[in-house]
Amino acid sequence: WHKVSGLDREMYVCPEFMVQLEKMLVKDLKKPQDYLSLISLKDEVLEPQQTLDFLKDTKIVKIPDGDHRITDFAPHVEEIMSYLAG
């Protein structure tokens, strides 16, 4: 059992989950220019620098004080909508 980050609950994690996750792992993006990435620089779950390195060829919006759940999403809606409108 593992505590869910940011929530007051736990989740069961078994070794088989790792096998399933490895099968879903994206090793590279076919068209990185087609992606908009929101990266929270204070993410408590994912390592921000690893995320930035992996997504370096995408359009990146860095959220300086953001958490894993991107609770401060609202200030970025206009930029996201503009990107989607393309």
Is 86:63 a contact under the CB 8 Å cutoff?
Answer: no
> Residue 3 has what pLDDT?
85
CATH of the domain at 8: 3.40.50.1820
Question: Please, where are the H alpha helices in 1-86?
Answer: 15-24, 48-54, 77-85
> Residue 55 has what pLDDT?
96
Residue 56 gets the label, from left (phi > 0), alpha (psi -120 to 50) or beta, of alpha
Is 55:39 a contact under the CB 8 Å cutoff?
Answer: yes
Residue 30 belongs to domain spanning:
2-85
Alpha-carbon torsion 58, 63, 64, 66, what sign?
Answer: negative
Number of domains in the chain: 1
Mean per-residue pLDDT pooled into runs of 10, the chain (86 residues): 83 91 92 95 92 96 91 92 93
> Residue 16 has what pLDDT?
92
